[in-house]
Amino acid sequence: MPNKSSWVQIPEGSDFTIHNLPFGIFSIKNGKPRVGIAIGNQILDLAAVARLGHFDALKIDKKVFSQNTLNDFISLGKSKTSRLRKKVQQLLSSKKSPLIGKRAVLIAQSKATMHMPVAVGDYTDFYSSIEHATNLGKMFRDPKNALLPNWRHLPVGYHGRASSIVVSGTPIHRPKGQVMPVGADKPIFKASGRLDFELETAFIIGKENKLGNSIPVNEAEDYIFGKVLFNDWSARDIQKWEYVPLGPFLGKSFASSISPWIVTMDALEPFRTKGPVQKPKVLPYLKYKGDKNFNINLQVSIQPQGKKETVVSNSNFKFMYWNMSQQLAHHTVNGCNTKVGDMMASGTISGRDNNSFGSMLEISHSGKNPVTLDSGEKRAFIEDNDTVIMRGYCEKDGMRVGFGEVRGKVLPAR
């Protein structure tokens, strides 16, 4: 991609460069939610740009830019959404742009409220980091056989709760449920004492497949519109007691937080990279061609109330053993249909050392080795009034494409 600049002032180190142009839903005081694109510290109001006629040649109904989710816009298909993104790139980079001086089309992000970018019909969470799966297997099973027999043969996943996915900035109440105290012979009901984050990303479905039809692995990216950061909050004590035999339930379904801007696959294209070598060889329906992983730097911080944040993890999406194309191919190989707006989360993204683990369960080794924050406080898990902040970005050859952040403050149990 050639280097481009914009007539819009973009701060040094901004995630939202002319190379990015992610889509989101925003509103301003007394205004209705609508579609926007992030550029620097501002938002380009696509509804306003459409009213000026700049998208007429694309033959897109102006109504899609005034919706309170991106579902209708995404449903237009990549041929149109990609062309619109390129048009916006031209409008924001040309020194003769007709938008120059049109103050109404640019809104300061500081004056906007961000909303859920899509209506999520269904949500699936995968378990696709071999480092994460190995770490948990060593902790809770035989260290010599940390991975279950199926793990290297298929992308393990489960269906989560779509209704409790919330946008960045939404507070999270500490969940309550059954836990089994160490040494006890029966469970008790209490607020979770082991609240954790999970560092993840999620991709959004951009094209539907019909019930009974599977999506081939090498066509899977045609069905993926873009990605967000994803914090899959987890109550480890509730999860540990409930997950046998059917897996996560109340320990996960109370909340998941996402970043508000969807970074498109077009923007991520320059950051492709090879994934880990998969052994043994996968079955034919999971064999793919080309580079399907992406070099996305990821970071997690914990901020106690009134204190500065402390970085507790630096990881990278490129570590993922199972890639998005394999996840979607496996998800639909039985004929499962997907719909626009469906969300597929990666599972916890952990690297190879303690500084790159994607959960406090791993970082503190199940609470045995608490982390010392810059404030001097210690954390084995997340405490009330802590804020967890996740950030992610790609950088290469002078191009930066970032996700912004997803943050959530933990409030006491109700």
Active site residues: 132
Q: Is the Cβ–Cβ distance between 391 and 263 less than 8 Å?
A: no
Sign of CA dihedral 11, 15, 19, 21: negative
Q: What is the spatial distance between Cα 205 and Cα 227, in angstroms, rounded to a whole number?
A: 9
Do strands 106-108 and 165-167 pair parallel, antiparallel, or not at all (unpaired)? unpaired
251: Cβ contacts below 8 Å, ≥ 6 apart: 175, 177, 192, 234, 235, 236, 237, 238, 239, 240, 242, 243
Closest of 292, 356, 291 to residue 327, by C-alpha: 292
Six-digit token string for 303? 């901020």
Beta bridge partners of 126: 157
d(CA 368, CA 103): 55
CA distance 115 to 170: 10
256 near 345, Cβ under 8 Å? yes
Within 10 angstroms of residue 138's Cβ, the number of other Cβ atoms is: 16
Tell me the residue type at 157: G
Q: Which two tokens stand for residue 291?
A: 């580079």
CA distances, 359 to each of 59, 132, 210, 349, 380 (Å): 46, 9, 36, 8, 10
Rounded Cα distance between 69 and 118, Å, is 5
Do 132 and 349 form a contact (C-beta atoms < 8 A)?
yes
The CA distance from 68 to 74, in Å, is 13
User: Which 8-state DSSP code applies to residue 52?
Assistant: T
- Strand-pair partners of 310: 302
**Continuous segment of H or E residues that includes residue 363:** helix 360-363
**DSSP-derived secondary structure letter, 142:** -
Encoded amino acid at 136, one letter = L
Q: Which residue has the tokens 């301003």?
A: 28
